[in-house]
Amino acid sequence: MDVAPETVLMSNSEPVLPQAAAGRVGVLLVNLGTPDTADAQGLRVYLREFLSDPRVIEDQGLVWKLVLNGIILRVRPGKKAKDYLKIWNNERNESPLKTITRGQSDKLAAALADNNVVVDWAMRYGNPSMQSGFDALMAKGCDRILVVPLYPQYSAATTATVFDKAAEVMLALRAQPTLRFTPPYHVEPTYIEALAASVEAQLATLPFKPEVIVASFHGMPQKYVDKGDPYQAQCVATVEALRERLKLSDKELILTFQSRFGYDPWLQPYTDETMKRLAGEGVKRIAVLTPGFSADCLETLEEIAQENAEIFRHAGGEQFSFIPCLNDSEGGMDVIRQLVLRELQGWI
């Protein structure tokens, strides 16, 4: 009688099930997302996915769908594609966000090589998708996966939607890996120290001393915070910790919010209006950092380093310095590595 290879019958007719192979540990770095191409079609595909997420735009009713499909996806892709072209990595034909996130993944993999940890990366919107990230890790035998949302400050529109997508991927699996998620790290000592060191290093290279340093964070509708989102409070906590580390006053290091979209009130003060105000008050020299971004992207390299620099100068400012994100620098990687090692305790 033929017996299925995966089972063997013992004398008591009880099947002996195959031994499960010892699984590996995986780490999946997840950033927000980016279009695949710097043209209107690439932006249209990306924006449709991004703006159809109810975590990002909570009211996904008929009016929003008409606005999204009838106006935004017809007009905005062409305009934003021109902005992407200003910062596009032409050598790799990809956005800087994709280049940097890959670099973070590669460097983390090298740092964890002795622990036999498999590291991969994904984008919440666009490619490589979170689905492909999970598939790649599981194909390499990972039955335990640590998901690392690369957002220092938690918000439902960023961190929570990574959780949502991970759950969606898990729903389709019969054999699910065990998941962990890293928490926000907005006041982690290594993060604050890395930010402070990056500010100090940048200022040391400048031919001028900024009168004001601006910490610009991505904004969100005020009503999201009113409903209980902790994002604004965590941004404030980051800036307060950074002020203490750099020994700066609340006049020397200020907090603003950028990238507002639509007509609802967003978190204030707005970065662009602050540029105008500072210049109008006679401030001539400023530096700007973006602590809410773990990697440089359109919102930092174009919106801040180019657009807001021009706003400041046009209003009477003279010297403007953009302080890059932590990216895959030594300090930035130390933040990610220590966070991951702490959350992998008990697995490695």
Q: According to the 3-state scheme, what is the secondary structure of the chain?
A: CCCCCCCEECCCCCEECCCCCCCEEEEEEEEEEECCCCCHHHHHHHHHHHHCCCCCCCCCCHHHHHHHHHHHHHHHHHHHHHHHHHHCECCCCECHHHHHHHHHHHHHHHHCHHHCEEEEEEEEEECCEHHHHHHHHHHCCEEEEEEEECCCCCCHHHHHHHHHHHHHHHHCCCCCCEEEECCCCCCCHHHHHHHHHHHHHHHHHCCCCCCEEEEEEECCEHHHHHCCCCHHHHHHHHHHHHHHHHCCCCCCEEEEEECCCCCCCECCCEHHHHHHHHHHCCCCEEEEECCCCCCCCHHHHHHHHHHHHHHHHHCCCCEEEEECCCCCCHHHHHHHHHHHHHHCCCCC
pLDDT along the chain (348 residues), means of 10: 44 49 88 97 97 95 95 95 97 97 98 94 98 97 97 98 98 96 98 98 97 98 98 98 98 97 94 98 98 98 98 98 98 98 96
Pick the CATH number of 24-184+331-343 from 1.10.300.10, 3.40.50.1400, 3.40.1410.10, 3.30.360.10: 3.40.50.1400
Is 299 known to sit in a ligand binding site? Answer: yes
What pLDDT does 22 receive? 62
Is 314 known to sit in a ligand binding site? Answer: no
pLDDT in tens, 91-128: 999 999 999 999 999 999 999 998 989 999 999 999 99
DSSP β-ladder status, 15-16 and 8-9: antiparallel
Pick the CATH number of 189-323 from 2.60.120.380, 3.40.50.1400, 3.40.50.2300, 3.40.47.10: 3.40.50.1400
What pLDDT does 14 receive? 55
What pLDDT does 262 receive? 85
All CATH 3.40.50.1400 domain ranges in the chain, comma separated: 24-184+331-343, 189-323
What pLDDT does 1 receive? 45
